[in-house]
Chains A and B, each alone.
Chain A
Amino acid sequence: MTPGITRASGAVELQIIKLKIMTTPTPHNSDHIIHIKPQKGLQIIDFGELRRYRDLLYFLVARNIKVKYKQTVLGGLWAVIQPFFMMVVFTLFFGKLAKIPSDGIPYPIFNYSAMVAWTYFSQAINQSGNSIVGESNLISKVYFPRIMIPFASILSGLMDFFIAFAVLICMMFYFQIYPTVMVVCVPFLIILMVLASSGVGMVLAALNAKYRDIRYTIPFLVQFWMFATPIVYPASMIPEKYRLIYALNPMTGVIEGFRSVLLNTMEFPTDMIAMSFLVSLVLFILGLFYFKQVERFFADVI
């Protein structure tokens, strides 16, 4: 018998399950045409897209909050420990030793009322500033509006803020200090605080993607900024004529606003708050705009 062995006769037929080609074209929905082209020149913000992805923002915020104190012993208490112990130290050094005035109210609550907002601000810009670099894996693997990432960091910090704020309310009872009617402005002050943090946070996040110096700059910036903000001292120490310039720092308006409505330290500082609001708004728009201009490069430089 001839050894008629050939490659073909020995090969096992590979079963090929082919997919049917659909002849009917999928109906094209006009909102779903994606046009990809080199992104040159000015980029405009697509608010419709941000709206479509709003659930993502919610889940990112929920994730940040849930994960933050996982596997810690003290959990949510950390939100209080930091501002509270800073307040104790500041009370000792600035209140007792340096005898810095505190607008006629006990120094501890004077300082703590500022620390609540300041802790939020410093953590918000720190976390949002590092957020883009921290989520590099996400950014290089899937598309979604990048702005959600720093924004989620900004919003998730509010949880800690409210915990620390609750302690402030307890302290008010303890010191028997009662708010003025202007307390209705608190939500507005919180919005102002978030607005200021977002503007700074977005700029830092975007810069950090390309220039990693930012990571090392943020702690510095926070320290300097703290002394340019009425935290250990009252804004009333600043001469009247310089107050508006002083209020260019958006956190000035926020903190003096909180003190005014909660602790009744002074008349509601409308002009300082207006100035701070203006600066925050400009920062926010600039931040959003700058972020939008550079986000297209994130996946390439991260």
Chain B
Amino acid sequence: MSNSIIQVNNISKQYHIGSKERINRTFREAVVDTLTAPVRNFRDLKRLTKVEYDRPDTIWAIRDVSFNVHPGEVVGIIGRNGAGKSTILKILSRITGPTTGEAKLLGRVSSLLEVGTGFHSELTGRENIYLNGAILGMRKAEITAKFDEIVDFAGIDKFLDTPVKRYSSGMYVRLAFAVAAHLESEILLVDEVLAVGDAAFQRKCLGKMQDISSREGRTILFVSHNMPSVRKFCHRGILFENGRIHLDDEVNKVVDHYLDSGSATFSSRTWSPDERPGNAFFRINSIILKNKHGMETSAITISDELLVDINFEVLQDEAKPQYSLILSDADGNCIFGSLNNYEHEHYGKPLRPGIYTSTCRIYGSLLNAGRFFVTLIGFNNNWHDEFKIENAISFHAHDDGVIKGDYPGSYGGPIRPLLKWQTKRHDIT
């Protein structure tokens, strides 16, 4: 289309996933293997940057993706992990090239794939504003012109000359977002960066982005797992599945389709060692939803209890992990929150380094049928060092008819607790 600001034509991207580890059974094998390894390694490394079709150790992260975006449009890109959302953003922001296909972007592009890229912990807030701005493509004069606005938005004016390593994580994120939000560009590519920071700040960021979009008419591509903000924020949704575009339509239709397809439920989340969320005291390895039999599941029945297992590793002595588990419905409305400060045995007592599992039991006959999301907020000792894992897991709750009894209709609201009813006869005396 002639009046599109972003034109993507048949873009594909192939990645090498690396060859299998070799396992040596005997000493002799190990010696021979070590000696011949250089030749083999060199061959493998050389191949890394070659395009090869139909090799077992290559995957297509995205395949034949085409779409056009009009100026001023705000497009939400959704899909499961590994569906290719981030890859398309990386290609459009020129971090990596496509294997085949091409794209045209008519305007200055700024991408925000991570908050605070290039921040240096030893440098002060002021120095980092300039460094980060320059990394994101701003000229020194531009940064100077927007400096006060950035500081004001981040609300860190008192700490401007303090090294950012002394900042709280909230201040750090605020400053980083503030720099990125003040980039002058026609196209903004954003990847799940709003998952950080507290709720008030997230609202502020979304507000700023709305401002950017509606007042300045900027085009935004927004990758997110947070369906409510995608609904709120975008006009159009593009659903990725296995590297291809599955649906490209009005945002509510796409989000509904994604949620209904069930492909959006993830009964567990496991993090690799260097990606684990957490703070300096402990890190989350995994969050797993289990049914009453202790089996991992993403579909539970509403009359049975369900368990949320939080597996974490304590890194330092004196860690006192505290959790807040928040259950929300498909539209992102909070239904309830639960804190672990009722667990008298361990709560408030320091844990030694090691691996632990905390389990939260959500009793049966409480929820209504529908989709639910679990958000976990972690703290350490007196509710400090907060981190948030938004919509860590999600599940479907099915009606098994136990509570319903003989009632044929459906129930409203997100919960359907089993309450006691009693009828008394008042005898006339």
Contacts and interface: CB of A to CB of B under 8 A. Distances in A.
User: Are A and B associated in one complex?
Assistant: yes
A33 B5 contact: no
Contacts, number: 186
Bin chain A's interface residue count: 35 or more
Nearest to B38: A213
B177 interface: no
Given A16-B232, A21-B235, A66-B123, A10 B413 contact: yes
| Interface of B: prevailing SS | loop
Contacts of B361: none
Contacts of A139: 95
Nearest to A212: B45
B94 A38 contact: no
A36 B95 contact: no
A37 B412 contact: no
Contact of A19 (B5, B105, B214): B214
Interface stretch (A50-58, A96-104, A242-250): A50-58
Contact of B98 (A16, A37, A210): A37
A142 B95 contact: yes
B45 A299 contact: no
A60 B135 CA distance: 9
Contacts of B410: 5-7
Contacts of A301: 48-49
Interface in A18-40: 18-26, 28-29, 32-39
A299 B134 contact: no
B123 A26 contact: no
Nearest to A15: B232
B106 A22 contact: no
Interface stretch (B25-33, B66-74, B310-318): B66-74
A270 B191 CA distance: 57
Contacts of B15: 300
B134 A59 contact: yes
Contact of A38 (B99, B105, B332, B412): B99
B48 A300 contact: yes
Contacts of A63: 120, 123, 127, 131
A55 B142 CA distance: 11
Nearest to B219: A26
Contacts of A67: 120, 122-123
Interface of B: 3, 5, 11, 15-16, 45, 48-49, 70-74, 90-109, 111, 113-114, 117-118, 120, 122-123, 127, 130-131, 134-140, 186, 210, 213-214, 217-219, 228, 231-235, 331-333, 370, 407, 409-413
